[in-house]
Structure 1
């Protein structure tokens, strides 16, 4: 058997030698298993390459699959600003860059959004241009009426920017002056800024001007006795000052910064007489503690605390001094065991005035119940949020296991409010109902001083929308993606946004079920999209989307 087998081999060899052999086809090119991100870092204004810029690359993972501590990589650009990250597996990556004198930023960053780099077969990731903007700065010196430096003054920087779809002026930084009265804000983005200063004269003394009579301690029936004024020249304050020589934001001089600008904003503070105001507060029992603080509304309903002096003359009566004449907020803080209530009242303060804040006790309280349509129990972490539509102020409170909640620690003023479910995130509001307030969508109106009871009807299962933005039939990166509810005015919490990645893809998570319009807007980052009149111009060019509970859908949208 062994021989037979050996004889068979020459026979087969002879057979194949006689048969014609077809030409061999070239082997198919192997698909690379790793890829590269390559590009150049330049000055965003001049276009000059930035040598030795430091770049960081991190995988863009979902929240439930966070990056490992050692997953990131760092490279340094060469003398021509060129950088490269080689040996990358297919995936999505977040790229950031920094260099001394420049603002650290992510690739094509707008607000907190960035364009992630998609790496893989057919993806372009090797011709990136990363523009960095040189940081600007504002600095200055503070002096008093004698031209002496003011130490440890509170210097506040306000930035006019787009946030939440609106142009707002917000407090973005605070610093204190040094021993020479100098302050400095560095690494500022281009834009419009305002600078304000809050300081105190080092020599100021504020004594009380009233005391309770020993023979008649009834402060409501002539029981107060005025005190002789002493050191009136020392009973002074510095009112808040805006650059330059303004007492409020509308009168302030805007400081327009471009990349690399170095602006100077000096201040010379001028003292004014300190006001003395009597404040009547609600009578409290021995288990309660009551205090008064003074705040001032400065910009877009942003308030700052003033260093006022508060002295209790008698139960239910306090004297507030150390503030200038003007409109301020008196905040009544009442301790109830471990709970604290804060009630604010706007008042015009002038000398020897008397303010009664006991009226704030009639402010309405919002409470209610959260009901899930499937009857499932709520987790201990369940929380709801109440947001003022007028000023954006919001309050959070816990929801009990039976669904009950109350904002009793935060009495409210009449106006329109929006209610949201913060936890658990799998819940969404289907509707609101109330016998004591007018409801619309996820909002309601407090029209009187009576308490309001709200029923939140909720369901489980948020959706998700993915897709690609196209411009002239090609994927477009860096585009603002907006998911707008049908009711553009009554449901601000339903908006979702993203920025398209390098392959034009985007993802919108935690979408509350309902009907929406999906928009892709080029150069839309300075658009006041929260204004229905502004966004309405883009609605016709968007894509209509209906999202059901737990639904994931993919949508292509044209860039406008």
Structure 2
């Protein structure tokens, strides 16, 4: 009788209507319910709220009771399955007294990929780095996506347990820091090491992983290759400098000693380009061949290219009827290179002025650290001339003083992403300025509602992108998707409400 009573109480618990967040967990491949899955409802709020935990019943159903109003992300996990985040991070907006539509959680069975790295003598390769890639090379010619990596153990074995179903390529490279005489490039199907950029360490044979089906016994065969070194001297350059080595697609910066000498070991046999750099400027190149052995006594002499560094004073000017901006003494403002290769920082003086020193010519973006203040950059002037957008062209000599006009009363945007049903995947709303790239972003909830605060007034475009990934976005992609974006212009302090068209993940992939 006690057992019967317990079962009736359990059934009643799952049947009660007070379930603001509820749904069903199933196996993605079979569609069968998954019992005993753990589900975690995580609040996405500034004020602290506790995370909530529940489990699925034998029918795969789950229910969260007594959920405070707010935004949440739902995660699920079960032994034998990959961890799952609902909608790739879709925001669930819980309102008082409102029950969300049932959520369908589909878990993917875990598949194990394991094997051994061996050298040409049949001995295991310990402490080698095994890498997993989605492709041999990215479609745009850049480095392929590396999704996971790990070191082999003392038996040369490796084991990956968190890979999604799909096609993968494996690579392996040595990590024996105690013995730098040997490298371990991966052998291709014909027994020759691949020597092109990242691909030199990649298997030419794809490995297909299916849900719940382990792939074991993968054998990565390597061979030992004696590494080379290069040494030499730089003459005729008094400024701080370094040499950049390009060896089989791999780049490394080598510092030059005060007497002009330099040394670098651990290089693979083959051609090496030695390039002298002063700051970010190239001052000369020399080709060296390490196929037959080491190279010593290499002399690098700079060419006649003039070395140019820019010194740019900056002044902040306030505009408008709102609060005036006073940069904090000791605070930093940055010039970031548009190519992502570093930049220059300047610290604010006690009188509010600052200066960027020894800036290498190039294209830059200005980054101001506002803190909690409601300010934005209204416009930038270089040498008294307005800058188009926020990209700073510093490629053609010293532009003169920089003036940054700052205003308060930033704008805000609220709205909804149009869609046919409840969103099942995270949608990111992007604010893309004219010539500035992504300025702000926000994630819509399951109903497509979103809110953007502290948006700089002016012209911009709004994109609602499903499954947004930074790596897959570029100015070219934005241009191709303009027809599905919304062009707006914001006034100071304006609160604008908009409706956006959903851009699916498939549409983004199609134009990449």
Q: Which range, TM-score by smaller chain? A: 0.7 to 0.9
In the TM superposition, 1:129-528 aligns within 5 A as 129-158=104-133, 169-171=144-146, 173-190=148-165, 193-199=168-174, 236-238=181-183, 241=186, 245-247=193-195, 248-250=197-199, 252=202, 253=204, 257=209, 259-260=211-212, 262=214, 264=218, 266-280=220-234, 315-324=259-268, 325-327=270-272, 348-351=287-290, 352=295, 354=298, 356=300, 362=307, 364-365=309-310, 367-374=312-319, 376-380=325-329, 382-390=331-339, 392-395=340-343, 397-401=345-349, 402-406=352-356, 408=358, 412=360, 415-424=362-371, 426-435=374-383, 440-447=388-395, 455-461=402-408, 462-471=410-419, 476=423, 478=425, 480-485=427-432, 487=434, 490-494=435-439, 496-521=440-465, 528=472
Shift of 1:151: 2.3
Measured on the aligned residues, the alpha-carbon RMSD in Å equals 4.6
CA deviations 1:427-468 (Å, max 9, x no partner) are 4333333359995421133436x5666625242444332212
Q: Structure 1 pair 520/199, CA: closer, same or farther in 2 (3 Å)?
A: closer
- The runs of 5 or more residues in structure 1 that have no matched partner are 1-31, 206-235, 334-340
CA deviations 1:290-341 (Å, max 9, x no partner) are 988978796xxxx7869x9x997x82213333312345787989xxxxxxx8
Shift of 1:86: 0.9
Q: Does 1:48 align with 2:32?
A: yes
On the 8 A contact 1:431/1:442 being kept in 2, the answer is yes
Q: How many angstroms apart in 2 are the aligned matches of 1:519 and 1:273?
A: 50
On the 8 A contact 1:469/1:475 being kept in 2, the answer is no
Shift of 1:96: 1.3
On the 8 A contact 1:107/1:116 being kept in 2, the answer is no
Q: Name the counterpart of 2:489.
A: 546
Q: How many angstroms apart in 2 are the aligned matches of 1:397 and 1:242?
A: 45
Q: How many angstroms apart in 2 are the aligned matches of 1:370 and 1:78?
A: 64
Number of aligned residues = 461
Shift of 1:404: 1.5
Q: How many angstroms apart in 2 are the aligned matches of 1:385 and 1:100?
A: 47
Out of 86, 98, 105, the position equivalent to 2:65 is 86
SS across alignment from 2:478: helix
Which protein shows a greater Rg?
A: 1
Q: How many angstroms apart in 2 are the aligned matches of 1:512 and 1:125?
A: 34
On the 8 A contact 1:420/1:493 being kept in 2, the answer is no
Q: Name the counterpart of 1:225.
A: none
Q: Name the counterpart of 2:502.
A: 559
Shift of 1:116: 2.0
Q: How many angstroms apart in 1 are the aligned matches of 2:170 and 2:280?
A: 29
Shift of 1:78: 1.9
Shift of 1:400: 0.9
Q: Name the counterpart of 1:211.
A: none
Q: How many angstroms apart in 1 are the aligned matches of 2:82 and 2:415?
A: 31
CA deviations 1:128-184 (Å, max 9, x no partner) are 1012334455444333333322222234444569x9x99863455443222122233
Q: How many angstroms apart in 2 are the aligned matches of 1:284 and 1:179?
A: 49
Q: Structure 1 pair 194/87, CA: closer, same or farther in 2 (3 Å)?
A: same
Q: Structure 1 pair 250/372, CA: closer, same or farther in 2 (3 Å)?
A: farther
CA deviations 1:383-437 (Å, max 9, x no partner) are 33444434x33346243142424364xx64x543333324446443333333599
TM score, norm. by length of structure 2: 0.72
Shift of 1:85: 0.7
SS across alignment from 2:66: strand
Q: Name the counterpart of 1:20.
A: none
Q: How many angstroms apart in 2 are the aligned matches of 1:436 and 1:182?
A: 64
SS across alignment from 1:108: helix
